[in-house]
Amino acid sequence: MLEDAARELGDPCLGLRVGLATHPRDIGPLGFVLLNSPTVGAAVDNLVRYLGFHQTGAEVTAKEDRGCWRLAYRVLHPGASEFYQDAECTIGTLGAGMTHIGA
């Protein structure tokens, strides 16, 4: 749906814009878990652990190195390159959502 909308609107950043405007409470139980994580590190751990319950067609991995986190999101579909807007939306949602952890 996002791919079609982005093409129709001529907005290659639509997925990112939607993601940045999404509050964690809007994504259901996973958002509740993330919002109730005591730290950003715990939220990242919970995201990696529970994303499969929220979305079965993707995975997220996280690595911490000297206090810096690297998140990687991957769509698990043979035509994954077709889901650019989905990936951008997810990354935007995660980035915006991290600002609410511990707030």
Written as tens digits, the pLDDT of the chain (103 aa) is 888 999 999 999 999 999 999 998 898 999 999 999 998 889 989 999 998 888 888 888 988 888 787 888 888 877 666 778 888 888 888 888 888 887 6
Structure tokens at 58: 């993707």
Instruction: Say what the pLDDT of residue 81 is.
Output: 65
Geometric angle at alpha carbon 52, from 46 and 53, rounded to 5°: 85
Residue 39 is classified by DSSP as: S
Residue 87's CB is within 10 A of a number of other CB atoms, namely 19
| Model pTM score | 0.77
